[in-house]
Chains A and B, each alone.
Chain A
Amino acid sequence: MAEPVLEMENIQKYFPGVHALDNARLCVNAGEVHGLIGENGAGKSTLMKVLAGIYKKDGGTIRLRGKEVEINSPEDARKLGIGIIHQELNLMPHLTVAANIFIGREPRKGLFLNEAKAVKDSGALLKSLSIDIDPTAVINTLTVAMQQMVEIAKALSYQSDILVMDEPTAALTENEIQELFKFIRALKAEGHTIIYISHRLDELPMITDRITVMRDGQFVNTVETASVTKQEIISMMVGRTIYEEPKLKSDVPSDAPVVLEARHLMAKNVRDVSFTLRRGEILGFAGLMGAGRTETMRALFGADPLVSGEILLNGKPVAVKSPSDAVRLGIGYLSEDRKAFGLSTGLSVRDNCVMASLEEFTSGPFTDDRKIEKAAREYIEKIDIKTPSTAQLVKNLSGGNQQKIVVAKWLIRNCDILIFDEPTRGIDVGAKNEIYKLMRRLASEQKSIIMISSELPELLRMSDRIVVMNEGRVTGEMDISLASQESIMTYATSN
């Protein structure tokens, strides 16, 4: 039973200036679900890209079913029965499901495509996997979960018996995750081997048999999932113990004044949302994906039109018609998609720092570079941004440091209310801790924080109070002393 189907040994990979894989090792048994974990930059995805033929290894050996193989291209990998489902789905959104499944090997009649056969065959394939999706549907009309199923079906249609899934649950709702797990178990029962990359440590015991931990491009350990605790996994990942217990009681004095009040907000996907935020408070917003949390905050921030409702700042009604209104009122929004909305990654650290308050850094028509430099340096120091210089381009920094620059940007703008939308998405455990520390310090300095997060442990650890949303409504609100994962999930799925 437990014979290795895949052995990767001493894998080396160099990128310019980086030793990305340093004697990386992975040994996967036939028919198991094998978790591959590590912080961002630990080399998991790089190792899998070597396996999939997207990167060429600079050293080491890969043995498949006991035989040494060379994988030089995605085709090689496919021929060997290795399928990879990438984190950012690799589908063509404008084409149909059938066209996507058969891309690169379309059934043909002479010169012409045999569309009928493609539809019939992909229909049969989807049916055999009990996936209920119309093969003629265009990909961009499907939900992310359905798109992922299409991607899995596509990989399986290459007769892959080893499937690599790179963070498959990152964009799924709780229900969809359970569906996916059921599906993975079914695949396993049919004898497929699955390599499962995830950041969500809580998922591992549910789905994996064994886990390999990587750190800094190196192999750390392979263990039976059942034999380790989450605490132990985390210390393997980071090499030190950092996991913290949930916050037990609110840090906000009961007489702290209300700085922001939203009354009966109505907007797209937002139905009658009311809440209050007090000075120095971290208010957590929990809910499943699509619960309307981001939409609420975007409407509050003026990024999307508010249909009706009232916003009060320090007790006075204010009009927020555009983000520039919100910023003027001292509200800063940290988008979940830093790269798309929060930062100009092609510009320097200092330019990004003063982006929202440039008018304060000019003398006459010119920018006052000395003043900008000074402010940037001050905040780099203050919130501990790790960058070689203020001239460094933001795209060269790690996710955690990028997030801090967005924070710096709003602090320089004198924002007293900061909305963090999924502040730790896509950043590693160590950097997460830094962000937590920073948020806590901001709160203790009497800034008020709204934090949207899909990770319950994070919410429980950070928030003073938690608002739970579902389907555009607030379904629950509780003080942190009363909150638990179970109570949040109950509200998040109730009406």
Chain B
Amino acid sequence: MENVKQQSRVNLQKLLAPAVLVVLFIFFSLVGDNFFSVDSVVNILSASYYIGFMAIGVTFVIITGGIDLSLGTTMMCGALLGGYAYNTWHWGIIPSLILVVIVATLIGLLNGWLVAYLKLPPFIATLGTQMMGMGFGAIATKVMTMRYPTVGSPDGWFKNFFYKTASGIPIGAAWLALAFLIAFIVLNKTRFGRYTFAMGSNNEAARLSGIRTERWLTGIYTLCGFFCGIAGIFYAAVYTTIIPSTGNGLELLAIAGVVIGGTSMSGGVGSLTGTIIGVFVMSVLKQGLMSMGLQAHWQTFFTGFVVIGAVLIDNYRLAAANRVKIN
């Protein structure tokens, strides 16, 4: 009986984030100017792409109890080097985009090695690589702004392929959905995902169970870097120009999305569905506040508000669950 009751409570909790999303959407549809329109939905989706990919990647890291502060600059570093290859070395667009992913994945690998093998606290390791990535991107591109092809140019098809089709369909949303689906299966149906939770829940127990935790943990940070690379492709597709020495701060948006989605910073608990919803909550806030004629700063303000609210609710839920257990 008790078990059943607790189960339903948890499920109710899982519905909270989607409910917030729906409520926000309805609220802005009622009070916002032109919020309830195809354009604004497209805008919401577009604004979610790169944050969404990074958030998916970092969800794995956060479930292990770690953190990756290098997401934003890793993405930018990859995008800058890819752009450099395209502009200066005149690589084709496809190899250039592959380079974006490779660079970001390598930074992820470096993070993993620092955290798993050299036992650095993830906060420190990725704070360091955040700065290194930002500096390296700027140095390697000689501090030049990198331009990716625009829609009219010969290689402009990549924008139609990743961002918006010629007829205006936001195809990026489909890619994000695909990435989510694959990541969801990896997290919930494979050993990789199981060990992600296991290490976050009790790393020593996982190690003593014969799991090579160093290897898997490195893999998880590498995967996160890979997703930053994918995010870089979409950032280039949506925004076209990549400016050196930018990108720091974006990781906090991705992490905020993960936290709003109910993943615990202390590890062992988390969900990708929550993460995606968290990312959309932030995009809806942004678009909605804009439709109310409020500046972007309001978005920052309210996002902070939501982050704190989400964690407060989570703490309350944990306390409630503990009460159930004691009685």
Contacts and interface: CB of A to CB of B under 8 A. Distances in A.
Contacts of B189: 112-113
Interface centre among B191, B204, B268 (most CB of A within 10 A): B191
A103 to B, nearest CB: 4
Contact of B194 (A74, A86, A106, A141): A106
Contacts of B171: none
B100 interface: no
B201 A94 contact: yes
Contacts of A268: 326
Contacts of B206: 92, 103-104
B325 interface: yes
A94 B205 CA distance: 12
A394 interface: no
Interface string A28-54: 000000000000000000000000001
Q: Do most interface residues of chain A lie in helix, strand or loop, or is the interface mixed?
A: loop
Interface of A: 54, 73-75, 78, 86, 90-95, 99, 103-106, 108, 111-113, 137, 141, 268-269
A95 B197 contact: yes
A78 B198 contact: no
Contact of B210 (A78, A108, A269): A78
Given A99-B194, A111-B190, A113-B194, A93 B210 contact: no
17 contacts: A74-B208, A74-B209, A86-B208, A91-B202, A92-B197, A92-B201, A92-B206, A94-B200, A94-B201, A105-B210, A106-B194, A108-B191, A112-B190, A113-B189, A113-B194, A141-B325, A268-B326
Interface of B: 3, 6, 185, 189-191, 194, 197-198, 200-202, 204-206, 208-211, 268-269, 325-326
A373 B58 CA distance: 48
Contacts of B325: 141
A93 to B, nearest CB: 6
Given A104-B211, A108-B191, 19 more contacts: A74-B210, A90-B202, A90-B204, A90-B205, A90-B208, A92-B197, A92-B198, A92-B206, A93-B202, A94-B200, A94-B268, A103-B198, A103-B211, A104-B206, A104-B210, A112-B189, A113-B190, A137-B3, A141-B325
Given A111-B190, A113-B194, A141-B3, A103 B200 contact: no
A9 to B, nearest CB: 25
Contacts of B326: 268-269
A94 B210 contact: no
A75 B209 CA distance: 8
A89 to B, nearest CB: 8
B173 to A, nearest CB: 26
7 smallest CB-CB distances across A and B, nearest first, come from A92-B201, A94-B268, A90-B205, A94-B201, A104-B209, A104-B210, A103-B209
B217 to A, nearest CB: 15
Contacts of B269: 94
A90 B201 CA distance: 10
Contacts of B204: 90
A95 B198 contact: yes
